[in-house]
Amino acid sequence: MNVARPGMVTSPHPLASEAGAAVLARGGTAIEAAVAIAASLSVVMPHFCGIGGDAIWLVADRQGRQRCFLGIGQAAGRLPAYDAAIPLRGPASTVTSACAVDSWGRALAYSANQWGGAQPFAALIAPAIALARDGYIPARSQHFWFDFRRDEIPHWGRFADHFSAVPGELFKQPGLARSLSLLAEDGYRSFYDGRLGRQLAEGLAAAGSPLGAADLAATRTREEAPVGLDYRGLTLLAPPAPTQGLSTLAIMGILSHFDLAALPPASPLRYHLLVEAVKQAFLDRPLIADPDGSEPPPWDFLDPQRLAGKAEAIDTARALAWPHPYRHGDTVFFAATDEQGRCASVLQSTYFDWGSGVLVGDTGVLWQNRGAAFSTVPGDRNAIKPGKRPFYTLNPGIALKNEEPHLLYGTQGADGQPQTLSVLLTGLIDYGMTPEEALAQPRFLLGRTFSDSRDSLKIEASLGGAAIGNLAALGHEVASLPALSPIFGQAGAIRLADAGTMSGAHDPRGEGNALRSQAHSSFNSVVISPPR
């Protein structure tokens, strides 16, 4: 559905979308709306994100300004000696600080300085406080991931007592409500060097985490220029290292050498090319790491000649063998655009579903396990050391047309993020699909996932048995999974059209939606992609 401007939001939860749309309705900026969404999602999607995690922001406007805010927590200043991999759960996995809240404050400062934003921080997070205090009905997604981890949860301390929820009944988080209220009273830096920060430092120490008060106080969002690549006349923007935004752009650069529009959207050859482009880009991905203190990579990931060579290396008649490891992770994507076409595209995460499983004291804050993305192999580019940021899967995107924002997009899914974006972007750009159509396309996941430990190519059954069989004939080890399975993540997209209209949607694999707001009037919204 196309709707007239002035503003739109999209997120994986209707309550969060409503909070963002309400900000636009009272004249707020896209960044202010995104902060309201971020805070609300921290409450209503605790299985994927929270204030104990991180966030990556891309922002752009019609004046040609584009910035990236890397809200990535750093490794503790004092680390234990590692003789094995960093644990995936528990206190030993809580080795990086949490930068999401600081990223909210950094983005709001940009909004105030560049866009004239004036919405009070306390007002923006007020809906989140109310949801934590008064409760909400958990979405199917929350129940799905709690049940998925049911056998592990008994080993996560007090986790089950806090997050057990009865379907259809209100779920309340009083500790988190108190923590958010402290942020509203004291400001966002209270999380790091204020009253809340002191509580968090005490709780982390009691849990056995290596993080301390000094680590929280040192946590800062980094502001950088995004990385860009031309694709079919659009400029695709992505966050720089240590994120895998470089991998997403490399995939699209490789695909630019093929005439995808000449193939039917459900063609097995189209999906073969997408998968093979992912493989070629992922071969370089181990070189992505925190640039601070690391040697520069031996080549430019986005060098046109290198990408052309990778495209030439793709065999259209045979799949490249793929035994490479898979990185797990979950997150939430949300985006907002306001009446002046200013845009924010954001991903927020606690890494794995339910993060580390560690609740910090009585704050209600569930801490992330992003430190598990580090290597413990000496000499590895992503090897852990004090103060370092890990390799990062989050990579929200913005596409520019004639130097103005045209597409906002992103997805949940760790390794699956660049893979899903290859399907989503080629649908939106090569085939001219609406956001709803592009998000409904069959997806694939290469490598191991939560549900399948084989190095196979998982394909949604909606692609069709004949097409899946053709992919197998090309040499792919194919595993068919149910259509619209939660395993394939939740993506979202907004398109800003030339004629001053916009369309948006969130994934049919979840409960998300897109809302249009009529600014400077009483709240009014229209559901673009109805909750399922």
Return the biggest CA–CA distance within the chain.
Answer: 62
Report the alpha-carbon distance of residue 491 to residue 417 in Å, rounded: 9
Sequence-separated (6 or more) residues with CB below 8 Å from residue 109: none
3-state secondary structure 383-435: ECCCCCCCCECCCCEEEEECCEEEEEEEECCCCHHHHHHHHHHHHHHCCCCCH
Q: Which amino acid is at 58?
A: L
Rounded alpha-carbon distances, angstroms, from residue 442 to 168, 222, 395, 481, 484: 30, 36, 21, 10, 8
Which residue stretches of 168-323 are H helix? Answer: 174-186, 190-193, 195-207, 213-217, 245-255, 268-282, 304-313
Length of the chain: 532
Cα(103)–Cα(68) distance, integer angstroms: 10
User: What residues contact residue 256 under an 8 Å CB cut-off, 6+ apart?
Assistant: 230, 231, 232, 307, 311
Q: Residues 284, 301: contact at Cβ < 8 Å? A: yes
Q: 371 near 95, Cβ under 8 Å?
A: yes
Coil vs helix vs strand at 470: helix
Catalytic residues: 331
* The two three-digit tokens of residue 38, written as one number: 């971020």
- Sheet with 478-481, strands from edge to edge, namely 444-446, 457-460, 478-481
478: which strand partners? 457
Angle between helices 30-44 and 174-186 (to 10 degrees): 150
Dist CA 355 CA 157 (whole Å): 13
